Structure formats: C-alpha cells, structure tokens
Amino acid sequence: MAASIKEVAQRAGVSLGTVSNVLNRPDIVSPQTRKRVQEAIEELGFVRNDSARQLRAGRSRTVAIVVLDVSNPFFTDVVRGAESIVEGAGGMVVVCNSGGDAAREHRHLDVLEEQRVQGILVTPVSDGKQPRLDRIVTRGIPVVLVDRGAGLANQCSVAVDDVLGGRIAAEHLAERGHRRIAFVGGPMALRQVTDRRLGAEAALSEQGLPPPLVVETPMLSVSAGRQAADEIVTLPSTRRPTAIFCANDLVALGVLQALTAHGLAVPDDIALVGYDDIEFAAGAAVPLSSVRQPREQLGRTAAQLLLEESTDPDRHEHRHVVFQPELAVRQSSETKRRRAR
C-alpha cells in the first residue's frame, strides 16, 4: 500500500541510495536524475517512513512538551512560545497533558522515551528529586524544566520568580491600605503555590502586617475559586478580608464570580489580585489585577535551551533562567479613592 524508496528507485530506474540522496542531499545528484526521481515520487505518492529514518539515523525532529493542564491558558501560551522556536528550526512540537496526575505524566514520559524524541519540555507534577527525568537525561534526551525552580545540575530550567510575584502582589495590596488579606490557592504541594504564598507572607511581615488568612484549594480551577469564596463570605465582616490574593487567575475568576453572586462588590468590598494575567483576566467584567508572567517567552526560552543542548550536547552548559514577574494593575484592586471620578 505505502510505496517505499525501493519502488521509487525502480520506477525512476536508479538505485535505492540515489533516491535517498535526492531526499536528503539533492545538491549532490545530477539535475536530470533528480528530476526523474522526483517525478517517480510524485507519481507513486511516496511519503518517507519516519520510523525507518529515525531508526537508522537515531535522530528525531520532534520536541515534546508535557504540561500540567492543557485547559489552563497559561500553559497554552507557553506552548505557543515553544512552537514558534521549534518550528522555526524545522521541528515539530507535540503537546502531552499530564493533567496534574503523576501516573499520566509517567506514562507520557515512557512513551516519549520509547519514541526517542529530540527533547522534552516538562512542568513536572511533583517537585524535588526526579529520578524518572534523570534517567531520561542520562539516556541522552535533553530535558528542560518549565516553570520549576532551578533544579538539579543535569538539566536546564526556565521559571519565573514566584516568591517575587507573591511579594509584589502583597505589597500592592498593603500599599492600597489593606490589612486583612487572604491567600487562596492550592494544593500546597505545588511549588508555584507555596512560593507565591511565601512571597506574600514575607512582604506582609516586613510591613508589620499580620499574616494572610490562607484558604487552601484542592486545585487551581475556577470552580475551586468559587468554593473558596463561598467559605470566605461566611466570615463575620470584622474578620472578613478586605483583599484576596489568588494563586492563579482561574481561581481569582472563580472568587470574583462567587463574591459578586453574594452581593459583595469588587474592589469596593473586597479587592482582588490574580496571577498569570491570562487573557480572560483583562476581559473579566471587573478587569482583574494580576501578576503577569512572560508566558510565551517562557516557552521560547525553554525551547531555545533545549535545541541548544540538543545540537551541541558537549559544549552545552546547563542554565537556569529566571524571569521577573510584574503586576498588571486593573480595576479589581483599585482603591475607592482612586476610582472616584
């Protein structure tokens, strides 16, 4: 059914090696022969078998990215950044979704290892030592950690300073006069969540403010945010926070919705700051203040490091790139005073 190089060679009346040369180094074959071969390829509808090519050549042109949550706009933007670099280099990106599930992540990595992909960008589900990833690295497949702290010495990483992000969010709220501030996010097993919380706590303590009320959520989703806010509104108004800092925008949007549903105005009753600055943050009916991360650049840089390591593994030195977040201030955290017209 599927034509092979051999049949093409036969039809063009040349040897098998010549066809391969037409495919891979067209310049070293004479114009007439090249033309004949190309015609034969056309006529037979020949398509190179990548398995055979890869088997023989050892190399693959596929870069994989394993994300925590394919539904989170943060990750889709990272993916787009990585795509732009990899495709520019003639490669291809495949996206794998672990969904925050270690077992699924494991299975994806197994398959990618079997496929001998060119490299893997990954935001691992869990932190700390990663024997699974180490094994992949020792097998010669470069791995770049995305949005994880400067990890071990055997791989590159790109991340955004989440402690700083938490800090600037909290400082912003403190500056606006808020003293009872809540932190909503979870699970605490995610380093991103704890770092953002730690940054916020440090900032508050430096300003002489009490530590935040922490409401832990089981995951970083809109519905989790709604539930957390449902809890918060039951507090007596003397203890209720006047500002909430959420571990990401999905949670913040959920909180925003629930607060509004309970008749609390944002930001007049409760100010709100999210994290990630996804497109829907600015588009929310109360535009959301949010800690912006250079999402696409995160993906681009990760892909660049990967390709670098892939093309020249010997000279490559592992690097740990950390970006700085910045706050996008919007209506959800503007004080009444400021918003008065």
Of 139 and 315, which CB lies nearer to a copy of itself in the complex structure? 139
Question: Which of 142, 196, 149, 125 is CA-nearest to residue 320?
Answer: 149
Q: Which residue has the tokens 């990483």?
A: 157
Distance separating alpha carbons of residues 220 and 9, to the nearest angstrom: 56
- Told to check if 47 binds a copy of itself by CB under 8 A, we report yes
Which one of 154-162, 179-187, 189-197, 254-262 is the stretch in contact with a copy of itself (CB under 8 A)?
254-262
Q: What angle do CA 255, 192, 254 make, to 5 degrees?
A: 10
Which residues 6+ apart lie within 8 Å of 324 measured at CB? 160, 161, 164
Phi, psi of 136 (to 5 degrees): -65, -40
To the nearest whole angstrom, how small is the minimum distance from the Cβ of residue 86 to DNA? 20
State the residue for tokens 């009444």. 336
Residue 244 interacts, among a copy of itself, DNA, none and using kind-specific CB cut-offs from 5 to 8 Å, with none
Q: How far is C-alpha 316 from the geometric centre of its chain's CA atoms?
A: 23
254: left (phi over 0), alpha (psi -120 to 50) or beta: alpha
Residue 149 binds a copy of itself (CB under 8 A):
no
User: 102-114 and 131-138 helices cross at what angle (nearest 10)?
Assistant: 10
Smallest gap from residue 3 Cβ to a copy of itself (A): 9
Confirm or reject binding of residue 141 to DNA (CB under 7 A): no
What 3-state class would DSSP assign to 54? helix
108: partner contacted, choices DNA, a copy of itself, none (Cβ within 5-8 A by kind) = a copy of itself
Note every long-range contact of 308-317, with CB atoms under 8 Å and residues 24 or more positions apart, other chains counting: 309/119, 309/142, 309/144, 309/156, 310/118, 310/119, 310/142, 313/140, 313/142
Residue 128 binding a copy of itself, by CB under 8 A: no
Residue written as token pair 């114009």: 31
Contact segment (CB under 8 A) with a copy of itself among 162-170, 177-185, 284-292, 333-341 equals 284-292
Nearest approach in angstroms of CB 236 to a copy of itself is: 25
Residue 222 binding target from a copy of itself, DNA, none, CB below 5 to 8 Å by type: a copy of itself
Q: Which does 28 bind (CB under 5 to 8 A by kind): a copy of itself, DNA, none?
A: DNA
Contact between 21 and a copy of itself by CB under 8 A: the answer reads no
Q: What are phi and psi of 155, to 5 degrees?
A: -160, 160
For residue 323, report the phi and psi dihedrals to the nearest 5 degrees.
Answer: -95, 160
- Residue 56 vs 341, nearer CB to DNA: 56
Q: Considering only 23-31, 59-67, 158-166, 181-189, which stretch makes contact with a copy of itself by CB under 8 A?
A: 59-67
Calculate the dihedral angle through the C-alpha atoms of 324, 248, 173, 243, rounding to the nearest 10 degrees.
-170
* Cβ–Cβ under 8 Å, residues 193 and 126: no
Which partner in a copy of itself, DNA, none is near 33 (CB below 5 to 8 A by kind)?
DNA
Stretch that binds a copy of itself, among 73-81, 149-157, 204-212, 320-328 (CB under 8 A): 73-81
Structural tokens at position 336? 């009444």
d(CA 51, CA 112): 14
Element of type H or E holding 65:
strand 62-67
Considering only the stretches 41-49, 60-68, 71-79, 274-282, report the one whose residues sit in contact with DNA under the rule CB under 7 A. 41-49
Instruction: Tell which positions 257-276 bind a copy of itself, by CB under 8 A.
Output: 257, 260
Give contact residues for DNA (rule: CB under 7 A): 2, 4-6, 13-21, 23-24, 28-30, 32-34, 46-49, 52-53, 55-57
Give contact residues for a copy of itself (rule: CB under 8 A): 1-2, 45, 47-55, 61-62, 64, 70-71, 73, 76-77, 79-80, 83, 87, 92-97, 99, 104, 107-108, 110-111, 113-116, 135, 139-140, 222, 226, 253-254, 256-257, 260, 279-280, 282-287
